[in-house]
Amino acid sequence: MTRRLACPPAPGPLEEFAARFDDLFGTVAQRRGFRGYLQGLLSPRERNKTLTALAGAEPVVGAQHPEVQRLQFFLTESTWDAEAVNARRLELLLIDPATAPHDGGVLVIDDTGDRKDGRKTAHVARQWLGSVGKVENGIVAVTSLWADERVYYPLHTRPYTPAERLDGGKKDPAFRTKPQLAVALVDAALDAGVPFRAVVADCTYGENPTFEGALWDAGLPFVFGLKPSKGIWAPADDAHTPPEAAQALRWGGPDEPGDWTPVERRFRDGHSESWWAADLTFGGYGPDRSVRLVVATTDPAVLPPLATRYLTTNLPRPGSPQAADAPFAAADLAEVVRLYALRNWVEQGYKQAKHELGWADFQVRADHAIRRHWTLVCCAFSFCWRSWFAAPPSGESAAEERGAAKRRRRCPPVLAAHAPTGPGLAGSLPLPPALLAGVVDQIPAPRATGAARRTRGRQIARPLPPRLTKYR
């Protein structure tokens, strides 16, 4: 066997992180490309992180520079497995005590879209893009994320290919709906050994029978959002929508809450808010039925639309008939509200991945190159957590570390810049700022303990989920 050639090291702690992936790259050029790509993604954003920006070259005119071409070859032509790299990334997260997932967190399923011009880039078509709130020409990815009150990170990503991009349309064997891709992401999380208290998603997936039915079949707990406009056929005097059912609950103010239960919500900046929650009996939902409908709001008298959530869950109410036979622990109102609140971290993660790490800045057309770019962005995201949770120097007291953490949040650390590597290059920018330094390192809120690890092989009797129709 020939001796493996040494690769030029990445700056600072990035080298220790990148070295964990070296056995997945067969050549020194691939190992060098991995380090260069991550360093470019992690550098402070001054312009879109295209390949010229990642290499520190001039826009457009620098596209033929050797450094840019090396990164282009690494992303599009080089032989390395993006799935293997992502699996190693998750392995590092799972074995690190600071980021290891536990059965009190949630598995968040969501999708994100970005504008893209033309039609030659894989998966691009006119479709609904949640980031812009309308139908535009762009690309959509279905994603999974693990989160608790302290840490969050992406797990897996699958691009969505619209039917019009396939020869057989919706009948093409390769066509997968977003809910079908979401089911595959839940499978991938289970295969990776990621524990969670519940699968959490908004109404886009929560009201989809394919996705909800797959979770029922697997015996997995969930907490989903429900549109307030969802209605049922009912007598004229009965409630027809979730807001009408909530308005029928007894409420006499904070001193006489009636049917409402106080719930304290804690936020990452340290402040807390008092909300109110209740189980609703509405349509096929009920506190002692197979699926509960929970309402949470800041004001039960008004039910303000922007501060009111309607949630469906198969987590049984403590003391209910379903609690004894359920394959997972019961959850009170506070626990249900807490679990769905963790979904907000996926939105925070999108902001950081897109605004700082260049998630949508790729200028490649092939499917495998796009997947590789997303995998590398996720690696950069994970490195930020690894740097943030790095142990303080030996002998540093806890008080000094807390002070250092505050200083890091105010002013992210930057290492000295390297010298330019050649004509036309701006040179490698310093070690990236701690992009996640704004996350408050606070003690997680109390959570239920003893939840058994879920496996997809569990066989349980599947109750029929309630079916809702539009009232008008």
* 12 within 8 A of 39, measured Cβ to Cβ: no
Burial string for 225-243 (b: 16+ CB within 10 Å, else e) reads bbebebbbeeeeeebbbbb
* 325 within 8 A of 344, measured Cβ to Cβ: no
DSSP E strands, 130-226: 134-147, 152-160, 198-201, 222-225
Residues 171 and 25 in one domain: yes
Residues 328 and 184 in one domain: no
* 277 within 8 A of 261, measured Cβ to Cβ: yes
As a whole number of angstroms, the distance between CA 217 and CA 462 comes to 6
* Structure token digits, residue 429: 């920018």
* 450 within 8 A of 61, measured Cβ to Cβ: no
What DSSP assignment string belongs to 83-132?
Answer: HHHHHHHHHHHHHSTTT---TTSEEEEEEEEEE--SS-STT-EEEEETTT
Residue-level pLDDT at 400: 52
Residues 23 and 171 in one domain: yes
CA-closest candidate to residue 389, choices 9, 17, 7, 2: 17
Residues 267 and 379 in one domain: no
Residues 358 and 380 in one domain: yes
Q: Which amino acid is at 160?
A: Y
Residue 257 β-bridge partners: none
Residue-level pLDDT at 443: 28
Residues 366 and 314 in one domain: no
Residues 192 and 236 in one domain: no
Residues 52 and 178 in one domain: yes
* Domain contains 260: yes
H helix or E strand, kind and range, residue 14: helix 14-19
| Residue that terminates a domain, selected from 296, 318, 337 | 337
* List of residues 6+ apart from 218 with CB closer than 8 A: 186, 454, 456, 458
Residue 106 β-bridge partners: 147, 198
Residue-level pLDDT at 86: 98
The single-letter DSSP state of residue 11 is S
| Residue that terminates a domain, selected from 295, 318, 337 | 337
pTM value? 0.83
Residues 95 and 166 in one domain: yes
CA-closest candidate to residue 214, choices 468, 456, 467: 456
* Structure token digits, residue 84: 């293997």
* Domain contains 432: no
Residues 235 and 178 in one domain: no
* Domain contains 402: no
* Domain contains 467: no
As a whole number of angstroms, the distance between CA 240 and CA 232 comes to 5
Could you count the other beta carbons within 10 Å of the beta carbon of residue 150?
16
* Domain contains 217: no
Residues 147 and 170 in one domain: yes
Residue 204: phi and psi, rounded to 5, are: -60, -40
* Domain contains 92: yes
Q: Which amino acid is at 399?
A: A
* Domain contains 83: yes
* 39 within 8 A of 14, measured Cβ to Cβ: yes
Residue-level pLDDT at 2: 61
Residue-level pLDDT at 104: 95
Residues 301 and 268 in one domain: yes
* Structure token digits, residue 92: 């590092």
* Domain contains 451: no
The three-point CA angle 373-377-378 to 5° equals: 120
Backbone dihedral region for residue 136 (phi beyond 0: left; psi -120 to 50: alpha; all else: beta): beta
Q: Which domain holds residue 90?
A: 14-196+347-388
pLDDT in tens, 196-243: 999 999 999 989 999 999 999 999 999 999 999 988 887 877 888 999
| Residue that terminates a domain, selected from 278, 312, 337 | 337
User: Furthest-apart CA pair in the chain: how many Å?
Assistant: 82
Number of domains in the chain: 2
Q: What is the pLDDT along the chain (472 residues), one digit of tens a residue?
A: 566 777 888 888 899 999 999 999 999 999 999 999 999 999 888 889 999 999 888 888 888 999 999 999 999 999 999 999 999 999 999 999 999 999 999 999 999 999 999 889 999 999 999 888 899 999 999 999 999 999 999 999 999 999 999 999 999 999 999 999 999 999 999 999 999 999 999 999 989 999 999 999 999 999 999 999 988 887 877 888 999 999 999 999 999 999 999 999 887 777 888 999 999 999 889 999 999 999 999 999 999 999 999 999 999 999 998 898 889 999 999 999 999 999 999 999 999 999 999 999 998 999 999 999 999 999 999 999 998 887 454 444 444 544 544 444 333 332 223 333 444 444 333 333 333 333 223 223 333 333 333 444 444 434 434 333 332 2
